[in-house]
Amino acid sequence: MLIQAHSRLPSGLKTRALRHAGAKIGGGVHMSLRSRISANELSIGDRSSIGKRAIIRGLKVSIGKDVTIGDNIELRGSQITIGDRTEIRSGSHIIAYEEFRIGSLGVIGARANLHARQIVIGDEFYSDDNPIPLTIGGGGSLGPQARIRIGNRCVMHNNLINVAEPVTIGNDVGFSPDASIYTHGFWNSVLEGYPAVFAPVTIGDKVWLGFRCSILPGVKVGDGSVIAAGAVVTRDVPSKCIVGGVPARVVEGPPDFPRKILAKDADEIMKSLVVEYADLLHDKGFKTSISEYSGGLTLRLEKRGGTSNIVYFQSVVRGAFPSEDRTIVLSFEDWAGLSKNHSFLNLSTLQWRGLSDQLLSDLRDFLRRRGIKFSGERFGSIAPEISEKLFQED
């Protein structure tokens, strides 16, 4: 049975019609005028919204809670699954003949063009709004092998990923602008001795693809490797090395790369990062002061009468933290002294717990830009003080 509602119905009548037709629609769901959705099986979680002139068509469609689907979206696939708190921004076109699936907390930037047999994306994916949008597909995207699987916490920009053959991308992979992947290459006739190459591409975990690098068909990139800007990769890349050049060759690798970090090195790095973060917060309108002690330091913050603390210690807590002050604690060892105003970031496990607010989000974003990634919520930054003045209401 096909479940659908007339595009010109207002939101309340549209969701009522869908429920009447057998769909599972949560509370607070909003469907804009001229949006259209149809499926044989349909579920939409609480507080999700579908923008104007959005078209969603699938056999089985499952949209999670707090999902935002923008205006002028086209989304078609036999099976469509969108995780909680994911956003698909306006103007994007996604066609996955067999399956489109994206996990929770994802962002697909405006005007993205994704086209393949199967598109599977993990949690906390991010692609930005770019004048040249993210493109997945290209030649051969109708073929039976046109499949892409992207792991968790990956970041993309205006990248091109061709999927004539399968593409597999691991967790925590970062694409710099203009980086591209190709799974086929041909032009002149094979009967005249020219090559025609069709082969899958595999990218391991924690790989960084530099600006305008190209990965050619059949390449496997090992975990933890870095592809230098402008490199053209024509053969497999070992794990944990840097490759560069045309064609790309290993520039540096074990045991020299990545550099071994001892406990004392990590301690000094974190202290320097807290000092650097204090300078950044000063630009954002905070008054800052730093107290250093054996094994750690405390960054005290004041803004508009409010007081907060950021405390770093390597292994043991030095001193007590006032429970009434907002306090964020960072350490390489676990800490149990958490109150309602505290947050704790474990630098060994990259797990965090406690109060989540704008300051914690800003700190997590600062650490992310140094490769220290605490996941679980979207990042956000506190605007510089000059920005607040420029954009305040007249």
Give the Cα separation of 54 and 248 in Å (integer). Answer: 43
Sign of dihedral through CA atoms 311, 316, 319, 320? positive
**216 exposed, middle or buried (CB, 10 Å; 0-12, 13-18, 19+)?**
buried
Contacts of 345 (CB under 8 A, 6+ apart): 328, 329, 330, 331, 352, 363, 364, 367, 374
Q: Which of 6, 20, 30, 184 is catalytic?
A: 184
Q: Retrieve residue 44's tokens.
A: 């939409």
296-303 sheet: strands from edge to edge: 287-293, 296-303, 306-313, 326-331, 342-346, 351-354
Show Cβ contacts of residue 276 under 8 Å, excluding neighbours closer than 6 positions.
Answer: none
Give yes or no for a contact between 48 and 68, defined as CB atoms under 8 angstroms apart: yes
Q: Which of 268, 276, 334, 327 is nearest to 298 (CA)?
A: 327
Give the SS3 label for residue 14. helix
Catalytic, 184? Answer yes
Rg (CA), the chain: 24
**Residue listed under structure tokens 């469509």:** 80
Active site residues: 184
